[in-house]
Chains A and B, each alone.
Chain A
Amino acid sequence: MASSPLPPNPAIDMPTGHPDSSHVAPTAPAWLALTETSAALPTDTDVLVIGGGLIGCALTYYLARAGVEVTLLERGELNRAASGTNAGSFHLQIAIHQLTGLEVDSLADRLLTEIRLYVEGARLWEELETELQGSLEMHTTGGLMVAETDAELALLHAKQRIEADAGLETHVLEGAELRSFAPFLADDLKGATYCPAEGHANPLLAAPLYALRASQAGAAIRTNAAVHSIDIGTQGGFTVHTARGRVRAARIVNAAGGWTNEVAAMIGQHHPVRRDGLHVNVTEPRERLLTPLVQHIGRRLTLKQASNNTFIIGGGWPSRAHGADGGYRTVWESTAGNVGVAVRVVPALADVRLLRTWSGALAFTDDLEPLVGASRRVPGYFTCMATTGFTLGPLMARMLAETLAHPAARSPLPDHFAPDRTASAAPAHP
Chain B
Amino acid sequence: MRRATLPAGVRRGPAVTVNVDGTPRQAHLGETVAAALMADGGPAVRVTRGGEPRGIYCGMGVCFECLVVVDGVPNTRACMTWIRDGMDIRHMDGLAAAGLTKENDHDA
B-binding residues in A (CB < 8 A): 6-7, 9-12, 14, 16, 18-21, 23-24, 284-288, 307-309, 351, 353
Contacts and interface: CB of A to CB of B under 8 A. Distances in A.
Contact of A16 (B41, B101, B104, B107): B101
- Interface SS of chain A: loop
A16 B103 CA distance: 11
Contacts of A11: 42, 44-47, 53, 91-93, 98
A12 B108 contact: no
Nearest to A17: B51
B46 A20 contact: no
Nearest to B71: A351
A137 to B, nearest CB: 11
B29 to A, nearest CB: 24
B21 to A, nearest CB: 6
Contacts of B91: 9-11
Contacts of A308: 108
Interface string B56-79: 000000000000000001110000
Contacts of B43: 6, 9
B51 A287 contact: no
B1 A7 contact: yes
Nearest to A4: B2
B99 interface: yes
B50 A24 contact: yes
A286 B95 contact: yes
A14 B53 CA distance: 10
- Interface SS of chain B: loop
Given A11-B92, A14-B93, 11 more contacts: A9-B91, A10-B91, A11-B46, A18-B47, A18-B106, A19-B51, A285-B108, A286-B95, A287-B105, A309-B108, A353-B75
Contacts of A286: 74-75, 95
A153 to B, nearest CB: 32
A288 B95 CA distance: 9
Given A21-B52, A24-B50, A9 B42 contact: yes
B73 A351 contact: yes
Contacts of B45: 11
A301 B28 CA distance: 44
12 contacts: A9-B41, A10-B21, A11-B53, A14-B47, A18-B51, A21-B50, A284-B75, A285-B49, A287-B95, A288-B105, A309-B95, A351-B73
B33 interface: no
B15 to A, nearest CB: 22
Contact of B96 (A7, A14, A19, A287): A287
A19 B93 contact: no
A9 B73 CA distance: 21
A10 B99 contact: yes
B102 interface: yes
A159 B84 CA distance: 52
A20 B21 CA distance: 25
A264 B92 CA distance: 55
A12 B75 CA distance: 17
B41 A7 contact: yes
A18 B105 CA distance: 11
Contacts of A12: 42, 44, 47, 53
B49 to A, nearest CB: 8
Contacts of B106: 18-19
A5 B73 CA distance: 32
Contacts of A353: 75
Contacts of B73: 351
Contacts of A287: 74, 95-96, 102, 104-105
A139 B105 CA distance: 18
B41 A20 contact: no
Contact of B98 (A14, A23, A309): A14
A285 B47 contact: no
Contacts of A23: 50
Report, nearest first, the 5 A-B pairs whose CB atoms are least far apart.
A18-B51, A9-B42, A11-B91, A308-B108, A12-B53
B44 A9 contact: yes
Contacts of A10: 21, 42, 91, 98-99
Contacts of B92: 11
